[in-house]
C-alpha cells in the first residue's frame, strides 16, 4: 500500500510521493519505495546527496531539496537521474559548480540554484541539459559568468540573474551582450540586475548601461595578450635576423666559390 517502506517520520501521501519536509533530518532518509517519483526533503540539515542515490531511485521526476546544508555536488551525483525534470537546490550552501555537475540529468526542465553562495560556475556546468527551460541563479555571490554556460542551454526560456554582485568589467561585456539579446528571458527585466563599475565600485542597474559602455573593451589587452604580442614580435625579429644572416652567408659563399665568369671571358678572348 501507500505506506510500503515509508521512511520513519515521513509521510507517503500516495504510492509515488514521499514527504519528509521540516523534520530536522541530518541525511537523506532511507529506505523508501524504489519507484518513488516525487521526493520532498526541504527544510532539513542534509549535507550531501548520496553518491549512488539515483542509481537506486531512477524513477524520480521531482526532487525538492530546498533549505538544506549542501556544500558541494560531487561529480556523478546525478548518474542514473534520467527521468528527473524538476530539481530545487535553492537555499543551500553551494559555492562552486564544476564541469558536468548535472551531466546525467538530461531531462531537467527546471533547475533552481537560487539563494546559495555560488561564486563560480564552470563553463561546462550545464552541458547536456538540452531540455532545461528554467534556470534560477539569483541571490548568489556571482561576480562573473561565462556566456558559454548559457549557450549550452538551447531550450532556455526563463533565467534569473538578479541579486548577484556582478562586476561590470570587460569580462562582463559578453554576458551583457547576451542579456541585451535575451531580455525576454529575464522575468524581472534589466531593472533588478545591478553591477559594480570599476574602479570606484559604483552600483548601477544594467538598464543604465549600453553596448557603448563596454566599447573600450574591444581594444583593451590583458597582460597575457601583450606578452604574446611582444614575444611574437621578438621571435619574428630573431627569425628575420637569422634568416638574413644565413642568406648573406649563402650569397657570400656563392660569390667566393663560383668561378669568376669575367675571368673566364677574358681567357677566351686571349685564346682567339
pLDDT digits (tens, 9 = 90+) for 50-60: 888 999 999 99
Give the N- to C-terminal CA distance of the chain in Å, as an integer: 126
User: Mean of the pLDDT values across residues 62-77?
Assistant: 94
State the pLDDT confidence band at 34, using cuts at 50, 70 and 90. Answer: confident
User: Coil, helix or strand for 128?
Assistant: coil
Continuous H helices in the chain: 53-56, 147-151, 172-181, 223-257, 261-271
Q: What is the pTM of this model?
A: 0.78
For 45, which DSSP code? -
pLDDT in tens, 115-170: 999 999 999 999 999 999 999 999 999 999 999 999 999 999 999 999 999 999 98
> Please, what is the Cα angle at 62 between 22 and 69, to 5 degrees?
40
User: Mean of the pLDDT values across residues 215-229?
Assistant: 59
Instruction: Give dist(CA 124, CA 100) in Å, integer.
Output: 6
How much is the mean pLDDT over the chain? 87
State the pLDDT confidence band at 30, using cuts at 50, 70 and 90. Answer: confident
Which residue reads 541563479 in cell numbers? 137
Contacts for 175 with CB less than 8 Å, ≥ 6 apart: 144, 145, 147
How many CB atoms neighbour CB 117 within 10 A? 14
Q: What is the pLDDT of residue 227?
A: 52
Instruction: Give dist(CA 236, CA 50) in Å, integer.
Output: 56
Q: Kindly give the pairing relationship between strand 86-88 and strand 38-40.
A: unpaired
User: Mean of the pLDDT values across residues 179-196?
Assistant: 91
Amino acid at each position: 500500500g501507500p505506506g510500503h517502506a515509508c521512511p520513519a517520520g515521513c509521510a507517503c501521501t500516495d504510492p509515488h510521493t514521499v514527504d519528509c519536509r521540516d523534520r530536522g533530518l541530518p541525511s537523506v532518509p532511507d529506505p523508501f519505495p524504489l519507484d518513488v517519483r516525487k521526493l520532498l526533503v526541504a527544510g532539513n540539515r542534509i549535507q550531501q546527496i548520496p553518491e549512488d542515490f539515483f542509481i537506486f531511485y531512477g524513477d524520480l521526476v521531482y526532487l525538492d531539496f530546498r533549505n538544506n546544508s549542501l556544500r558541494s555536488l560531487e561529480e556523478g551525483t546525478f548518474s542514473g537521474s534520467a527521468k528527473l525534470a524538476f530539481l530545487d537546490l535553492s537555499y543551500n550552501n553551494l559555492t562552486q559548480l564544476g564541469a558536468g555537475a548535472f551531466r546525467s540529468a538530461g531531462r531537467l526542465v527546471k533547475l533552481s540554484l537560487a539563494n546559495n553562495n555560488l561564486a563560480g560556475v564552470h563553463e561546462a556546468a550545464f552541458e547536456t541539459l538540452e531540455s532545461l527551460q528554467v534556470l534560477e541563479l539569483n541571490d548568489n555571490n556571482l561576480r562573473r559568468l561565462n556566456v558559454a554556460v548559457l549557450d549550452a542551454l538551447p531550450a532556455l526560456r526563463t533565467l534569473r540573474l538578479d541579486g548577484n554582485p556582478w562586476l561590470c568589467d570587460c569580462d562582463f561585456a559578453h554576458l551583457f551582450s547576451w542579456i541585451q539579446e535575451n531580455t525576454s528571458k529575464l522575468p524581472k527585466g534589466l531593472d533588478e540586475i545591478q553591477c559594480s563599475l570599476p574602479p570606484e565600485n559604483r552600483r548601477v542597474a544594467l538598464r543604465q548601461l549600453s553596448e557603448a559602455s563596454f566599447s573600450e573593451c574591444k581594444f583593451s589587452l590583458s597582460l597575457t595578450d601583450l606578452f604574446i604580442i611582444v614575444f611574437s614580435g621578438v621571435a619574428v625579429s630573431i627569425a628575420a635576423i637569422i634568416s638574413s644572416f644565413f642568406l648573406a652567408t649563402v650569397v657570400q659563399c656563392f660569390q667566393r666559390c663560383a668561378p669568376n665568369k669575367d675571368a673566364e671571358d677574358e681567357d677566351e678572348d686571349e685564346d682567339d
